[in-house]
Chains A and B, each alone.
Chain A
Amino acid sequence: MIHDAQMDYYGNRLATCSSDRTVKIFNIRDGAQTLVAHLHGHDGPVWQVAWAHAMYGSVLASCAYDRKVIIWQEGKHEWEKIHEYKGHDSSVNSVSWGPSEFGLLLVCGSSDGGISVLQRAADGRWEAQKINNAHTIGCNAVSWGPAVSIGSLFGQSPQYIKQFVSGGCDNLVKVWREEDGQWKEEVKLESHSDWVRDVAWAPFIGLPICTIASCSQDGRVFIWRSTGSSWTPKLLHKFNDVVWHVSWSITGNILAVSGGDNRVTLWKESVDGQWACVSDVNKGDDSGLRSSI
């Protein structure tokens, strides 16, 4: 069973991870899917994979039920493990690479409730910083935010900040920010009534607004917007089933949502701020294009 699929920076390769403890990498350019690598190293189901920014070469992180986070790098001939992190006491559910400005920076969320931030130091060692008890019962998803803060965009000094969002079994979405080398919970977003399954921070392309999408076991997808001070939720849609994933397009204007009913829907915000479904990938509707934008 495939738990996660991620395309690399250029959209040429697709990494999938599965219950069968492996990570597979497919080449998906040129219309065909060809298996190019098969990574063994985990002892349990692999929950999530993440590609690092192409600036660092082909670097992939995977996290699994065996409590390990493995960072892989494509060498001359094959993929090799460059780091293995075992700092969690329970299944690691999510990994996300930070903005390229910070070097190789990875955040991992685990069922033990903790979140770890791994950073590759100049000498190639990996330094881990752990936030204990970030989410009671467990953390299900993490996603990095942009490196540039909104305040700084229209303010005076360019300010690079490390921030990410996490979602957990306590039904909360939390935004974390690094201050003086310490991670602090910046804000706690409450709206979901069940486990938060996925969170995604929208890519930051010239927008003066920070946007986060979160989805939950309760079938609801929220879009959180912040212009600097507070976050306001907007209900995108209430689905009838668990919503497992949310994923932004690279320009951050289309959101793909996949739900328990095996359907993918694409959502786009119209000018008046309403989100409309623009496509339904799994619908066997042959009536042609029904694009409303």
Chain B
Amino acid sequence: MGAPSGMQRCKGRRSSKPDGTSRDMAARVVQTFSGWRTMSCELDGAASAVAVSRDGSQVVVAGRNILKVFAIEEEAFVEKVNLRVGRRTSVNYSCSDVAWHQLDDNLLATAATNGAVVTWNLSRSSRNKQELLFAEHKRTVNKVCFHQAELHTLLSGSQDGSMKCFDLRRKDSVCTFNGQSESVRDVQFSPRDYFAFAASFENGNVQLWDLRRSDRCERMFTAHNGPVFSCDWHPEDRGWLATGGRDKMVKVWDMASARPRELFCVQTIASVARVKWRPERRYHLATCSMMVDHTINVWDVRRPFIPFAAFEEHRDVTTGIAWRLPHDPHLLLSGAKDCTLFQHIFKDAKRPADRANPEALCFGPRGDVAFAAKEGLSANDPARRALPGDRRNPFFFIRKAPEPYDASLTQQHSGSVCSVLNVFQRCDAKEKLNPLENESESFVELAQRYCLAGRPFAELCDHNARIAMELCRHQVAQTWLILKLLYAGGDASPSPALLPNGGIFCGKDGSSGLGGDGMSERGKSEGHGDGGLEEPNEETEGSDVENLTASVGLYAAAAGLYSGNGEEERLELLDQDTTTSDFPEFSLPPEAFALRHEIVDGPAGLEHLQTNGPDGPGSGDEDGTDEGMRSACQGKVGGSTAGLGITAAESVSLISVSQPLFGQTLPPEVFAPAVIAMLEFYAERGDVQSTVSTLIVLGEKASGGVDTLVQEHWYLSYLELLQRFRLWDVATQVIRLSTCAAISALNHDSTSLNLNCSSCRRALGAKGWLCDRCRRCASVCAVCHHAVKGLFVWCQGCSHGGHLKHMHDWLSASPHCPTGCGHLCEYT
């Protein structure tokens, strides 16, 4: 984005009007402007052009009903002369353009809508300052232009298609240039070539003329599609001509070369009425528009789409713009149809280019990230168009195949700002094991492979746990197992799958090889055996023992995860339990039940767990609510790595889930709150999949405890996600299995098919298969000619079809429709 061209602030205030040396180098020092400010004044009528005196102290505003000279003071415009004097105002004064001579501060020229060209002398003492009147043009004069170096030469361009050169010492034109195109919209003397001037035409042409030969132009070319309303020579670069047209473009031409060459092209949002190069800024020019857009835009021609600066003060179309001083880039004067005259200060301008967003970012549903960033002003340097070297292959994401796609470059505008667009895809080849890596893929996997119904509860849980485990969603897998233990009651023995899982779980995260050397651990814990054994418990709860130990084992396995420092006694006790569960025949040593006993104590057990954390806050709620889990896990996380944090959280939730299990009886109401807390925990973590899947599998067991609306919301969220991944079948299954009335109803929404009669091709009405017109049943099999009952398959192209089997057989032999209609039917 074009660098703000350093607005120098000069210390002193503008001392006095620049004298005659203003064009000398001394005066080329940037003018002071700190004293100037944006200001405006009301006019009597709409302006159509403005012109500034050489020293920038006065401005003339011309319009159909106005012709006034204002002095530009520091705080305001002060009216100096009203040139429209006299009783009756002549049409000669209805101005379309005005010019101020750059050598003579008293000499003005106006172009009138009736074809008159009038010159004015401000030094006349009478009220009427009109000097000369040339009534040679037949139609509106669009433009007048003084020669920069000749005091007496004035050029005009008119709607009648001709340009006239006047010598102000004579009463008529010196010569006439006939463009032989259409109406002349602008004429401009070249500041560098004494005899040259450019003219722009309504038919899109630009002509270059030599003052000395009026018979034909030096060169002519088509610059725009549609009228060229304005042209302006670059003040310094010889031969650069900017043209602005109705085609909403500003083009910069190099006229010095053999053929006019288009150097830049700026696209504006509305047709361009005036173009003026900005002094002292080689690539900047100001434009105003003829309609729609009321702002004055200053463009950096290298930046073709977004204006460098914009002045938005005017409330109606701006008609005239002029830089106040030939060497000051900060002051711009403008007149508009809203009857105001403005002085704009550059520092008050808006900078749309700075506002423009140089980057684009989008997080795709599959975890892809699309990112586009600008490559800087890459000018004409082809080397810059390549990818910068520092953009190496990022880890975590890989860039998709055809790497950079450069949208702007296809336009081939030299010097436009380019962007490189990358789509980063998740790495999924190497890091398959990391659950974060392929969150969306595991989502899809899980959605597809989860078994939600059709088998006994315990089997479903086992199945789902196994799948979750395969995808490294350990916590989810453990949840499934716990659920199974909770709800499947005493009839289910721990699945063999559980044990290896637990072992993998512990071993993989390297928590001191709990599963591995279980025996030695056990030996240690036996040594620690508390006195508080209660044998009778074991006997009375014979049937629950298996479940119990299994869950404790789970818990211990999970607990081992977050506490790599297993030196605490309590933990070793837990570890010991892990090992006990490794014995398939459940030959549990009595010591193991010391732990159980502790946990049976409920509150005490939980407290005890929390003190396990290195700096545990000990603020856990005993009722195992969500808050309790979270605060408890925070304590754990303090000591362990953030990566294990979630697992810690999970293990704590498992604890609270499993805790009620140790009660003497197992009424579902006891652990229902914990299960609900678990559901909410997953939902809160954004894993609505786990929430909904468990909800479905639990069915009536859990749905009672959760607010229907919440459930509904969970379902809808999950369905939305499933649909995003185009898992329609899973979504349908979820809808079917949901226990929510509102969700199940989704499947009852009608799906309508519009049918055509296969013989007359008219749309079938609501009457079913009977066609209104041909009074025939439309659902006749094209092969056997019997009405089809049951599955009817038909081609969408020719509406012919029949029994699925018949059609299948037919089409495996021939690609044509069996009716002989000639249609090449497509069945997929």
The answer on A and B forming one complex is: yes
CA–CA, A9 and B721, complex, Å = 10
Residue B365, interface by CB 8 Å: yes
Contact among B369, B391, B392, B649 for A286, CB-based, below 8 A: B392
Chain B residue numbers with a CB within 8 Å of A206 are 683-684, 686, 688, 691, 713-714, 717
Question: In this complex, which of A31, A66, A251, A279 has the most chain B Cβ atoms within 10 angstroms of its Cβ?
Answer: A251
Which of the 9-residue segments B207-215, B415-423, B665-673, B779-787 touches chain A?
Answer: B415-423
Which of the 9-residue segments A117-125, A152-160, A171-179, A228-236 touches chain B?
Answer: A152-160
Which of the 9-residue segments B127-135, B226-234, B629-637 touches chain A?
Answer: B629-637
Residue A16, interface by CB 8 Å: yes
B642 and A276 form a contact (CB under 8 A): yes
Chain A residue numbers with a CB within 8 Å of B355 are 91, 93, 111, 138, 140
B686 and A281 form a contact (CB under 8 A): no
Q: Which of A257-293 contact B (CB under 8 A)?
A: 257-260, 262, 264, 266, 268, 270-272, 276, 278-293
Q: A2-B408, A248-B363, A284-B392 are in contact. Are A47 and B356 (CB under 8 A)?
A: yes
Which of the 9-residue segments A17-25, A127-135, A185-193 touches chain B?
Answer: A17-25
B305 and A19 form a contact (CB under 8 A): yes
Which of the 9-residue segments B11-19, B172-180, B193-201, B395-403 touches chain A?
Answer: B395-403
Residue A43, interface by CB 8 Å: yes
CA–CA, A134 and B723, complex, Å = 35
Question: In this complex, which of A6, A14, A93 has the most chain B Cβ atoms within 10 angstroms of its Cβ?
Answer: A14
CA–CA, A150 and B641, complex, Å = 33
Contact among A67, A111, A250, A254 for B724, CB-based, below 8 A: A250
CA–CA, A252 and B269, complex, Å = 38
B362 and A1 form a contact (CB under 8 A): no
B367 (CB) vs chain A CBs: closest residue: A249
A31 and B400 form a contact (CB under 8 A): yes
Chain A residue numbers with a CB within 8 Å of B401 are 31-33
Chain B residue numbers with a CB within 8 Å of A264 are 361, 369, 371, 424
CA–CA, A264 and B267, complex, Å = 31
Which of the 9-residue segments B109-117, B141-149, B274-282, B431-439 touches chain A?
Answer: B431-439
A-B contact count (CB 8 A): 272
Residue B469, interface by CB 8 Å: no
Say how far A62's CB is from chain B's closest CB, in angstroms.
Answer: 13
Chain B residue numbers with a CB within 8 Å of A284 are 390-394
Residue B407, interface by CB 8 Å: yes
The size of the chain B interface, using a CB distance under 8 A, is 92
Q: Which of B674-713 contact A (CB under 8 A)?
A: 680, 683-688, 691, 707, 709-710, 712-713
B436 and A293 form a contact (CB under 8 A): yes
A282 and B394 form a contact (CB under 8 A): yes
Chain B residue numbers with a CB within 8 Å of A54 are 723-724
Contact among B306, B359, B684 for A244, CB-based, below 8 A: B359
Chain B residue numbers with a CB within 8 Å of A31 are 400-401, 425
Chain A residue numbers with a CB within 8 Å of B366 are 11
Q: A18-B419, A19-B408, A90-B312 are in contact. Are A11 and B359 (CB under 8 A)?
A: no
B361 and A244 form a contact (CB under 8 A): yes
CA–CA, A158 and B358, complex, Å = 41
Residue B811, interface by CB 8 Å: no
B359 and A28 form a contact (CB under 8 A): no
Chain B residue numbers with a CB within 8 Å of A259 are 359
A268 (CB) vs chain B CBs: closest residue: B436
Q: A18-B419, A20-B407, A281-B396 are in contact. Are A7 and B721 (CB under 8 A)?
A: no
A244 (CB) vs chain B CBs: closest residue: B359
Q: Mark B440-478, 1 if CB is under 8 A from A, else 0.
A: 100000000000000000000000000000000000000
The size of the chain A interface, using a CB distance under 8 A, is 91
A14 and B362 form a contact (CB under 8 A): yes
A272 and B683 form a contact (CB under 8 A): no
Contact among A140, A248, A251 for B688, CB-based, below 8 A: A251
Say how far B60's CB is from chain A's closest CB, in angstroms.
Answer: 30
CA–CA, A256 and B395, complex, Å = 15
A153 and B395 form a contact (CB under 8 A): no
A5 and B686 form a contact (CB under 8 A): no
A207 and B683 form a contact (CB under 8 A): yes
CA–CA, A28 and B393, complex, Å = 19
Chain B residue numbers with a CB within 8 Å of A205 are 683, 686, 688, 717, 720-721
Contact among B267, B408, B637, B712 for A1, CB-based, below 8 A: B408
Residue A3, interface by CB 8 Å: yes
7 contacts between A and B (CB under 8 A): A19-B416, A45-B305, A206-B684, A250-B365, A250-B724, A276-B642, A293-B643
Q: Could you list 12 further interchain pairs (A-B, Cβ under 8 angstroms) beyond the known A91-B355, A291-B437?
A: A1-B305, A18-B419, A65-B305, A91-B352, A153-B709, A158-B712, A208-B680, A264-B369, A264-B424, A284-B394, A292-B642, A293-B436
3 closest cross-chain pairs (CB), A and B: A206-B683, A284-B392, A2-B419
Residues of B within 8 A of A (CB): 248, 267-270, 304-306, 312, 352, 355-374, 390-397, 400-402, 405, 407-408, 411, 413, 416-419, 421, 423-425, 431, 434, 436-437, 439-440, 630, 633-634, 637, 641-643, 645-646, 648-649, 680, 683-688, 691, 707, 709-710, 712-714, 717, 720-721, 723-726
